[in-house]
Amino acid sequence: MKIILLGAPGAGKGTQATKIAEKYGLIHISTGDIFRANIKGGTEIGKLAKSYIDAGKLVPDSVTCEIVKDRLSKQDVIGGYLLDGFPRSLYQAEELSKFADVDLCLNLEVDPALIMDRICGRRVCACGESYHVSTLNGSTTCAKCGGELYQRDDDNPETVKARLGTYNVMTAPLIAYYSAQNKLATVVCGTKTPDEVFEDVCKVLDSFQK
């Protein structure tokens, strides 16, 4: 399966992506993770990406599309992959269609009222796990690997507002775009727990696989 995971910031794309990749044996490709790794490594891409990410804007297409194209040219994606955070605009979707043929766009629909608290309360671990402060009981380490938890630079109210604006203008039109191609499946997250959302996601993916 070749899947696109779509959803506003805070919809839980990263959390669901990890679970989906594990269960269905897909390679998880997150452009956000790739940029953060580049920032950490001090690369040229990282230096360029940081200013856009901190402002809640999209990293320029010339860089982003090239990264994804390159990643999808690797042998390991032959068994299927999950794109998390790409495409994020109609332009990127058109570019993607030139080098990949995705089967399904899974849209995670989140209650907008929940987004700010979810993101600003998020604490992440370098291993990929993320938590919400309300469930940590004061702990500052990752339950999975023991690593130190931290807050992403862009998980602050000001940047979140900008990210939501970017999502509404640039990314939300992809819902209609993939719907018109009969490739859209929407999972409504509401106030469900990640495990409950994952059950719904599995129903979609299982019926799709048959």
Q: What is the DSSP string of 150-196?
A: B--TT-SHHHHHHHHHHIIIIITHHHHHHHHTT-EEEEE-TT--HHH
The amino acid sitting at 115 is I
Catalytic residue list contains 13: yes
142 vs 180: CA distance, rounded Å: 41
Q: Name the binder of 144 from Zn ion, ligand ADP, none, CB < 5-8 A by kind.
A: Zn ion
Write out the residues near ligand ADP by the rule CB under 6 A.
9, 13, 31-32, 35, 52-53, 56-59, 64, 85-86, 88, 92, 163
Tokens of 23: 């269960």
Which of 13, 36, 118, 123 is catalytic? The answer is 13
Are 102 and 1 a contacting pair, CB within 8 Å? Answer: no
Q: Name the binder of 203 from ligand ADP, Zn ion, none, CB < 5-8 A by kind.
A: none
Give me the least distance between CB of 88 and ligand ADP, in Å please. Answer: 4
Interaction between residue 127 and Zn ion (CB under 5 A): yes
> Which residues carry out catalysis?
13, 88, 122, 152, 163
Binding site for Zn ion (CB under 5 A): 125, 127, 129, 142, 144-145, 147
